Structure formats: C-alpha cells, structure tokens
Amino acid sequence: MDPKERSADKAAQEMIARMAEAGQQNAWDRLQAQLPQCGFGKQGVCCRICAMGPCRITKKATLGVCGADVDTIVARNFLRAVAAGVSAHSDHGRTVAEVFIATARGEAGDYKLKDTVKLHKLAKELGVETKDRSLNDIAVDVGKIALAEFGKSEGTQLMARRAPEPRQEIWDRFGITPRAVDREVTESLHRSTMGVDQDYRNILMHASRVALADGWGGAMLATELQDVLFGTPYPGRGEVNMGVLKKDQVNIIVHGHEPILSEMIAAASQDNELLHEAKKVGAKGINVSGTCCTANELLMRHGIPIAGNFLNQELVIATGAIELMAVDVQCVMQGLTNIAKCYHTKLVTTADKAKMPGVEHISIEETTALKTARELVKMAIDNYKNRGQVYIPKDKKSAVGGFSFESINYMLGGRYRASFRPLNDNIINGRIRGIVGVVGCTNPKIPQDWTHTTLTRELIKRDVLVLTTGCATIACGKQGLTNPKEALELAGPGLREVCEAVGIAPVLTCGSCVDNTRLLVSCSELVREGGLGQDISELPVAGACLESVSEKALAIGQYFVASGALVVFAKEIMPVLGSENVSNYLFDEVEKDLGGHWAVESDPVKAAEMILEHIEAKRDALGINREKERKLYDMEDRRALAVE
Ligand code: BF8
Ligand code: SF4
C-alpha cells in the first residue's frame, strides 16, 4: 500500500516505506492481516457476556440465547466501552491523587507542589480551610478529598458543581449526577451483565452518568492535581515530529500517559553528572521527547519536543535512533516489543499494572522516582554504543503549547483582569463563529492525521476557534497548525483579527486526553461570563474525533454529549450502528433529554460543514446572528465596546 494512503504525515510516510523495505511490521500491516474485520463486532451486535453465548444478531437469529435483543446488546457494549474508558482516565487521576498526597506529606521528595495559587483555589472550591495553615497541610486535605472522589460511598462528584446550574439541574432531573467513579464503573459492569438492564435507554442514560464521573470527576481531578504538582501550563514553544530526534545525542522516548514518570525522566536528563556520562560515550547530550499524551503533558509544561502521536510509536523505534523507550499506561502497542527487537532500543515498562512479556520492568514509585528515572537515563546512555544504522526523517514543526483554562483566561484578559469577556464578545459580534474541540486518536483505518488536520483547516477558515488535545493536537502540530504564524494565514478574517490582537494561534494546544476537562471548564466559563445563554447546550460549540481508537475516546465523547455538546465521530468507527434504536437515540433523541448529541461523518470537509450548521443554529437561537439594529446601548454593548 502507498504510504500516502496510510499517513498524511511526511515523516511517517518515509518511515512506513523504510519499514516495508526492511520487512518490518507495524499497525497498518497488522490491520491488513486482520481484514476483513468482523462485521458483527463493528456493528456492536456481538455479545459474549455469558457462557450461553457468544451470540450475534442476524436476520435469522434476532435474539441472543437469553432473549436479549439487538438494542440491549448494542447499548450494553457501548456502556461497557465507555466505562472502560472512564476507568483508564480515572485510574490515572487516582494515581496522581496518591502522589499528590505523598508529596504534601513529604514522602515523595522528588515531587513538589509547584502551583500554590491553584492549590489555594482548589482548596477554596473543596471547602478546605487555608487560614494560618501550611501549604502542605492544605494540600494533604485537598488530596484526601480528591482521592475520596474515586471511591466515596455517598454523595456526588464535587467537580460537577463547576457546571452551569441549569446543566446540573438536567443531570439531577435524569438522575445522572455522577457519584464516585468506582461506583459508576462498577454499576456499569453490573447493569450490563446477563439478565440485568434490558432497556436500552436506561442503559445509555447510565453511559452518560459514568462518563460524567470521568469528565467532571476523575479526569478533571487528574488535570487539576497535575497542574498543582507540575505547574499549570502557560504558552511556550516546542517542536513536533520525528525530526526532533537527534543523531548525535542519546535519545529517550517517554510514551504513555502519566506525567508522574515523564516529569522525572525529563528532570533526570538535565542532571550534570548524567550529561557528563553521555559525553563520555561520545554523545553530545541527552534528548528526551515524547509520544502520545505524556508527550503533550511535557510540551504543555516544559516545551519538551514531541516525536509523534499514537501511530508514530513503532515508527520512532524504526529510526534506529532510540536508546530507550520508557512506557507507563494506555495506548502502548504490544507491537513495540517486536520492533524494539530489530534495533538496539531498550523498551522498559514502569507501571506495575502494565507489563509486557519479554520486556524489562522497572517500577516507578513515588518515594524513589528520581533515582529510578536516573537509572533509566543511565541505561539509555550505556546503550548508545550499541546503535546501528540510524535514519531520522527531517520533518518537524515549531508549535506553541500550554493553553490551559488559566492561560487562555490570562491571554485574553491580562493578569489583572483575566477574563473570558473578550472571547465571549468576539463570539457575540461574530468575528469568531464558535469553538470546536478537535480531539483524540489516530487510527490505521484512516490516513494518519488527515481528518484532524483537514477538519481543523476547514474550521479555522470559517472563523471557528479550534482547541485541540490528545493525538489530534500532535497531528495539528506536525502540520504547523499550532504555530501562530503558519496557522494565521489559514484563518478566516474575523478569527485572524482576534488571534492577532490577543497573540494566539487559531488552533490552541490544550494538552492530553484527560485535559479535555479543560474544555469543559472553558465551556462553563463561557456561560458564566454571560451573553451566550444559560447552559453549555446553548453555546456555539462542538467536539470532533474522526480517527478515534480507544474506549477513552467514547468516554470523552459521551461526557461532552451529556454536558450538552454536539460530538462528531467517523461513521465506520462508531460501534452502535447495528441497532437502529440505539443509533436514533444517540444521534438524535438524546438531545431532547440532555441537550447534546452524537453525529457521524467520516469526511472531514463535510464534518466541518455539519459543525458549522450546528454552530450557526446555536447562534440563531441565541439571537446573536441578528444584524446590529439597536440604537441604545445597554450594559452589554458598552462592555463589548470597551474591548473592541
Ligand atoms: O489518551 S488520543 S490514541 S494517546 S486515547 Fe491514545 Fe487516543 Fe492518542 Fe492519549 Ni487519548
Ligand atoms: Fe448471549 Fe444473552 Fe449471554 Fe449475551 S448475555 S452471550 S446475548 S445469552
């Protein structure tokens, strides 16, 4: 297959061609070997939940052995997938909470509480007394309350109070205000075992509840606590794509999701003693870069380069330039073990819950994290001499990362009057039509990065501000879309004017997949700031992921839908099409209940048009598409004038 059909990224195309020449396998080859893939699985109509099955629904056999119909089976599978995604983000959040508490207690000396302003803000929000108390005491209490959110036996998620009140009322009305994460995940599994919940609408309502426990719970806490621990991101420059690898340096890749590991490796790589060791083996330095979400975390906070996204993980090893790849959890392909064997690359697992057969495991623990990270860096240095042939594609682009909610607020309003007001005003006056989150993975079924970057270009051209996270933000970075200079040329006139005035790109890098919660917080703030309705469902916003892979993407999609947003996925990847009722509910009827809904569109240009139509409909409903006809200025006009 032509590498261009596999990836829109030139560097990846080069490496795909080289791997093919060398007879090496990657995800695209394994996908070919899997074809044709199971049609029942794709449609979501296969059930293997109990030992009377597996059952699959066909025209001839319309019911499972237990009598379950296609709606029940499809809804159950969907709920389980969402719950699995939630468990991944939220388990990450729990780990952060544990390290947070250990740090505050002085038991994890290598970590520090870096953003004490945010700590105070969180403390206030969570009702922790701050007066006359030490930072560490405050942090212990904040950490304990956060940790309880994962498993408390009573009450609902505290972070859900950040949502606009009408939104919280909707959740209450439908009984889906999320309780503890563990409880919602457990209940998801219970409801979807054989012979329990058999009403597809009831099942799907719980998919919303468990997803909300992530978006307004576990994942949001992961982001908030990481900001306090490692610093809230502010804009800074970095570079993206395989060209960031250095031929004359020791290259270390951190891959996975939790900054608990990558922060320490980044710190260890600056250690003078180790730099000296690297020189001794003939390397000019130690070059740390990342793949997948952990890379986003490092770019956001330190400007550390990104070597690639999900589908790049095997390709980077095939450069022959990687001395060590340290992985933790999530989106780590087992295929890495084989490709690492073809090179000198040392692959190391670091999370006790994620080991790989035949791969060395070095556990990262919070009490000894930096020491372990130093050992890993030393391993990489020692491995430098074993390098064979190296080929590094030249492509890389400069990118600006670091758009947290706080930094967007600050960029827009300035330190002393940090505020979303200018953004709201520019949405109201129509220079910016709306805001779209382009998020998620890269899937070998679709040319890598193609939909994310095409959709993003189409949206900014139409004056829509794009916020990106996960592998989509890396895709945009690789094509220069998160670089203000390059991207502004592609933006529509209104969006361009605003971005130039504020000094931001029309495409903002907002971080990893757990950082999608930054988008939820931003939506709440758009509502709170005023002039754009009372609830998220009234905002001219949407989310899109046309290359989704992971169950996590479904969890994110569902929490955006349940928060009132439109979410667009590619048709062939949405695993519910086998049931007309489930599809109708998720694509349409759910809007009447929760204000948001799913849609499917595989073509990124058509997806942009669909999203624009949605945005304009929301603008119409808000009454902000009217020609300016008012003669008298009210307070809102005056405020708008003040920023224009
Ligand atoms: O959590 S975007 S492929 S790396 S799942 Fe995975 Fe998807 Fe990438 Fe990060 Ni998110
Ligand atoms: Fe078949 Fe019902 Fe068992 Fe599923 S739960 S495998 S549909 S018998």
Ligand 1 atom nearest to 257, measured from its CA? 9
- What was the pLDDT predicted at 635? 59
Asked if 26 and 16 count as a contact pair (C-beta separation under 8 A), the reply is yes
- Give the closest ligand to the alpha carbon of residue 473: 1
Looking at the domain assignment, is residue 515 inside a domain? Answer: yes
Residues in Cβ contact with 615 at an 8 Å cutoff, skipping those fewer than 6 apart? 433, 434, 436, 464, 540, 541, 542
Count of CA atoms in the C-beta half-sphere (13 A) of 433: 24
pLDDT at 411: 87
Within-domain flag for 226: yes
Residue 449: which of 4, 103, 8 has the closest Cα? 8
Query: How many angstroms is it from 309 CA to the middle of ligand 1?
Result: 8
493/520 same-domain check: yes
pLDDT of 250 over the 90 cut: yes
Helix 70-104, helix 200-213: angle, nearest 10:
10
CA distance linking residue 191 with residue 210, whole number of Å: 12
Domain identity same for 100 and 199? yes
Give the position of tokens 């405050």: 138
Q: Residues with Cβ < 8 Å from 626, sequence gap 6 or more?
A: none
Q: How far is CA 472 from the centre of its chain?
A: 8
Q: Are residue 618 and residue 471 in the same domain, yes or no? A: yes
Among 6, 189, 2, smallest CA distance to 84 is for 189
Please choose, from the candidates 561, 565, 573, 566, the residue with its C-alpha nearest in 3D space to the C-alpha of residue 602: 573
Evaluate if residue 642 carries a pLDDT over 90. Answer: no
Using the CB atoms, write b or e for 94-113: b if 16+ within 10 Å: bbbbbbbbbbbeeebebbeb
Angle 587-588-592 (CA atoms, 0-180°, nearest 5)? Answer: 135
536, part of any domain: yes
Q: Are residues 276 and 363 in the same domain?
A: yes
The residue whose C-alpha atom lies closest to atom 5 belonging to ligand 1 is 550
Amino acid at residue number 503? G
Mean pLDDT of all residues in 557-581? 97
CATH number at 74 reads 1.20.1270.30
Q: Which ligand is nearest to the CA of 53?
A: 2
Residue 12 CA, chain-centre distance (Å), reads 21
Of ligand 2's listed atoms, the one at least distance from the Cα of 63 is 7
Protein residue with least CA distance to atom 1, ligand 1: 513
Average pLDDT over residues 66-88: 98
CA 489–ligand 2 middle distance (angstroms): 55
Give whole-number Cα distances, 23 to 8, 242, 342, 388, in Å. 22, 21, 11, 17
Which atom of ligand 1 is least distant from the CA of 556?
A: 10
Query: Would residue 553 count as lying in a domain?
Result: no
- Determine the distance separating the centroid of ligand 1 and the alpha carbon of 63, expressed in angstroms: 35
Q: Which listed ligand is nearest to 40 at the C-alpha?
A: 2
CA distance 17 to 23: 10
C-alpha 206/C-alpha 219 separation (Å) is 18
Question: Cβ(64) to ligand 2 under 6 A?
Answer: yes
Together in a domain, 424 and 366: no
Assess if residue 629 is contained within a domain. Answer: no
Q: Are residues 42 and 127 in the same domain?
A: no
DSSP class of residue 228 equals H
Residue where a domain stops, chosen among 28, 56, 84: 56
Of 180, 206, 230, which residue sits at a domain end?
Answer: 230
- Beta strands in 448-517, from DSSP E residues, in sequence order: 464-468, 507-509
Same domain, 194 and 116: yes
**81 within ligand 1 shell (Cβ under 6 A):** no
pLDDT at 631: 46
pLDDT > 90 in the chain, percent: 95
pLDDT at 551: 98
Residues with Cβ < 8 Å from 314, sequence gap 6 or more? 19, 26, 27, 333, 335, 336, 339
> What's the 86 CA to ligand 1 centre distance in angstroms?
13
Where would I find the H helices in 193-255? 200-213, 219-230
393 assigned to some structural domain:
no
Q: Name the closest-CA residue to atom 6, ligand 1.
A: 331
Nearest-CA residue for atom 4 of ligand 2:
47
pLDDT at 604 over 90: yes
Question: Identity (one letter) of the amino acid at 492?
Answer: G
Instruction: Output the CA torsion sign for 130, 134, 138, 139.
Output: positive
Residues 6+ apart with CB under 8 A from 32: 1
- Tell which atom from ligand 1 comes closest to the C-alpha of 469: 2
Asked if residue 418 and residue 275 are part of one domain, the reply reads: no
Say if residue 170 is in the same domain as residue 38: no
- pLDDT > 80? residue 344: yes
Could you give the 3-state DSSP secondary structure of residue 108? Answer: coil
**pLDDT confidence tier of residue 124, bands split at 50, 70 and 90:** very high
SS3 per residue for 298-321? HHHHHCCCEEECHHHHHHHHCCCC
- The set of residues, in sequence order, having a beta carbon less than 8 Å from that of 375 and lying 6+ positions away, is 362
Which of 166, 200, 230 is the endpoint of a domain?
230
Distance CA 224, CA 301 (A): 13
The band of 629, judged by pLDDT with boundaries at 50, 70 and 90, is very low
Residue 626: the pLDDT is 76
pLDDT tens track for 516-537: 999 999 999 999 999 999 999 9
pLDDT tens, residue by residue, 271-304: 999 999 999 999 999 999 999 999 999 999 999 9
Least Cα distance to 214 among 183, 174, 252, 241 occurs for: 183
pLDDT at residue number 644:
38
Helix, strand, coil content of the chain in percent (nearest 5): 55, 10, 35
Ligand 1 atom having least distance to the Cα of 514: 1
Name the band, by pLDDT with cuts 50, 70 and 90, for residue 636: low
Ligand 2, atom 2: nearest CA belongs to which residue?
A: 66
- pLDDT category, 1, cuts 50, 70, 90? confident
Distance (Å) from CA 17 to ligand 1 centroid: 24
- Give me the pLDDT at residue 630, please: 43
How many CA atoms are closer than 13 Å to the CA of 21, on its beta-carbon side?
A: 8
Ligand 2 atom index nearest CA of 54? 6
Query: Which ligand has the minimum distance to the alpha carbon of residue 52?
Result: 2
Partners of 541 in beta bridges: 435
E strand spans, 510-635: 541-545, 566-569, 597-600
- Amino acid symbol at 281: V
Ligand 1 touching residue 327 (CB < 6 A):
no
* % of residues, the chain, pLDDT over 70: 97
| Domain CATH number, residue 449 | 3.40.50.2030
Query: Both 257 and 224 in a single domain?
Result: no
CA distances from 470 to 440, 474, 512 (A): 5, 7, 4
Is residue 310 included in any domain, yes or no? yes
Compute φ and ψ for 568, nearest 5 degrees.
-110, 125
Asked if residue 637 has pLDDT above 70, the reply is: no
Closest ligand, as measured to the CA of 80: 2
What is the position in ligand 1's atom list of the atom closest to the CA of 439?
2
pLDDT tens, position by position, 90-106: 999 999 999 999 999 99
- CA gap 389, 204 in Å, rounded: 52
181 with 254, same domain: the answer is no
What is residue 415's predicted lDDT score, i.e. its pLDDT? 61
Say what the pLDDT of residue 627 is: 57
Which ligand gives the minimal distance to the CA of 192? Answer: 2
Regarding the beta carbon of 549 and ligand 1, being less than 6 Å apart is answered: yes
CA distance 16 to 6: 8
Q: Name the residue range of residue 92's domain.
A: 70-230
SS3 call for 433: coil
pLDDT at 123 over 90: yes
Q: Is the pLDDT at 376 greater than 90, yes or no? A: yes
- In this structure, is residue 571 part of a structural domain? no
Q: Per the structure, how many domains does the chain have?
A: 4
Closest of 403, 402, 397, 438 to residue 306, by C-alpha: 397
Do both 380 and 327 map to the same domain? yes
**Ligand 2 in reach of 55 Cβ (< 6 A):** yes
Atom nearest to 194 CA in ligand 2: 5
pLDDT of 379 above 80: yes
When mean pLDDT is compared across 475-484, 558-567, 605-614, 630-639, the lowest value belongs to: 630-639
The CA 240 to ligand 2 mean position distance, Å, reads 47
Average pLDDT score over the chain: 96
Pairing of strands 566-569, 597-600: parallel
pLDDT at 417: 75
